[in-house]
Amino acid sequence: MTTCYIGIGSNLGDRRSHIERAIEALRNTPGVIVTRLSSIYETEPVSNTPQGKFLNGVIEIKTSLRPKTLLSKLNAIEDNLGRKRDGINMPRTIDLDILYYGNERIEEEGLIVPHPRIREREFVLKGLRELAPSLIR
């Protein structure tokens, strides 16, 4: 099993409920064990598009799924919770991003790990400081 960190966020509708439902869907995903969750932070959107504030956090999981399969499962959870893919940094019911997948470095079409914008997102850094401070140097 590989330890992974997943960023989670929502800024549309019942944000807390979307996050709770996404975590529950992860718990029900074969090959995924949710081990810990950071605090949830309310944050300003990182966008020029006018939109509401986000609730964000980080989830620690252990998984037997390979990175692309995990990404596919995360995308399916997003789709099931009404995520619309209307562009970058747009409002969304739920956002699930692979931040770290063990110690692997991955650069494939559609998947870069560690996530390339970790250092630009204070809400991700806060969650990672709670769960895995050794990852933030």
pLDDT tens-digit profile of 62-88? Answer: 999 999 999 999 999 998 887 776 666
Which among 133, 106, 94 has a CA at the least distance from the CA of 2?
106
Specify whether the CB–CB gap between 101 and 113 falls below 8 A: yes
Q: Angle 86-67-59 (CA atoms, 0-180°, nearest 5)?
A: 75
The model's pTM: 0.88
Specify whether the CB–CB gap between 94 and 27 falls below 8 A: no
pLDDT tens-digit profile of 26-35? Answer: 999 999 999 9
d(CA 103, CA 2): 9
In the chain, the domains with their CATH numbers are: 2-135 (3.30.70.560)
d(CA 117, CA 89): 12
Specify whether the CB–CB gap between 29 and 96 falls below 8 A: no
pLDDT tens-digit profile of 87-120? Answer: 666 677 898 999 999 988 988 888 888 877 777 7
Catalytic positions, written as ranges: 83, 92, 95, 97
